[in-house]
Structure 1
Amino acid sequence: MATGHTDPRRRERILAAALDLIAEEGVAGVSHRKIAARAQVPLGSMTYHFTGIDDLLLQALTGYADHVVTLFEHHLTGATTPDQVREAVTDLIHTLSEGPRRDLILVQELYTLAARHEPYRALCARWMRRSRTLLEQHFDAATARRLDALIEGLPLHQALDDTPPDRALTREAVSRITADT
């Protein structure tokens, strides 16, 4: 692993370490020192790359939100018929539901920050706008809004339930929301 200013991946390792720590300890348990240790970088790298812990957390969570939008794009790209789009949305929900627990925790941490701090609320608003824009390529705005809420909410409900996710129920929910389109 390269060290010093010649390390081109240092910033990315810091951001990844921040997300891992948020998932393990919550935002309240994150510090520059812990992130630097996890990323295996000198503590001074934290202030070299970021203006402070808030800047670091916001950039890390922005990267996470970008990752989720990429999942939306991946699942929706290529779907052209209403049935294909409904199946793509069902697949997306199950990808999010059955993905790493870490991702579900990161979403919850981001929502909690958004409830209290404007920069994170703005990040969530941009994320929702991007997700809905992708959905609006296939559905009217009102349907895209309802579908986005299902995509965000169902994985959280499924994560807290001991019953395995039921793909048929997910498909039915998606079909009901999109029935008039």
Structure 2
Amino acid sequence: MATGRTDPQRRERILAATLDHIAEEGVAGVSHRKIATRADVPLGSMTYHFDGMDDLLMEAFTRFADQFVAVFEQYLGRAGTLEEAREAVVDLIHVLSEGPRRELVLTQELYTLAARRDEYRELTHAWMNRSRRLLEQHFDPDTARQLDALIEGVALHRSLDTEPQGRELTKLAVLRMTSGV
């Protein structure tokens, strides 16, 4: 643990520890004491840096959403043609579904909060809008909306399926959705 009067990484460690804890035990298992222990910070740091549990959770999930959108930016940003954009969508689906289980759990925990509480619904709405704007660089708005749902849905199914669909079936779904038929 850093000592002294200033610890510029303390707030960041708390947010990272919060996401790690949620991934392991769920939102219901979060407490200031558990997060402070995991982040290796004094308990008083929790109330110094955050106005309460909702503030901590909102900032942690905002960070997570930002990281998720960065993945969309990475893949869609390098696409220059329609075919490259289609391939980027396929890549996104497979990267997201084959990635760490942590990301899947965090996404579902956030969606559960959003289903119950308006402030988290606003966060997920903003996240979806950002993803769609990136898709709209390559596809019309209606197709972008559908692709956004396809990406999340197929990634979720692939993550949870004991025999996930292969890349060729994903390519076919993206092609059908983006061919204007």
With the length of structure 2 as denominator, give the TM-score of the two structures: 0.97
| Identity in percent | 67
Q: Secondary structure at the match of 2:23?
A: helix
Aligned length: 181
Alignment match, 1:20: 20
Is residue 2:47 matched to residue 1:47? Answer: yes
Report if the CA contact (8 A) 1:97-1:158 is conserved: yes
Inter-partner Cα distance in structure 2 for 1:68 and 1:124: 11
Report if the CA contact (8 A) 1:94-1:165 is conserved: no
Alignment match, 1:94: 94
Alignment match, 2:31: 31
Moved over 3 A (4+): none
Residues 64, 5 of structure 1: CA spacing in aligned structure 2 closer, same or farther, 3 A cutoff?
farther
Is residue 2:135 matched to residue 1:135? Answer: yes
Query: How do 1:21-170 and structure 2 match up within 5 A?
Result: 21-170=21-170
1:101-146 residue CA offsets vs partner (Å, 9 max, x unmatched): 0000000000000001111000001001100001011111100000
Task: Report deviation, 1:154.
Answer: 1.1
Report if the CA contact (8 A) 1:97-1:165 is conserved: no
State the AA in 2 paired with 1:121: R
Inter-partner Cα distance in structure 1 for 2:169 and 2:30: 38
Where does structure 1 lack aligned partners over 5 or more consecutive residues?
A: none
State the AA in 1 paired with 2:40: Q
What is the RMSD computed on CA atoms of the aligned residues? 1.2
Inter-partner Cα distance in structure 2 for 1:145 and 1:5: 48
Is residue 2:174 matched to residue 1:174? Answer: yes
Inter-partner Cα distance in structure 2 for 1:86 and 1:69: 17
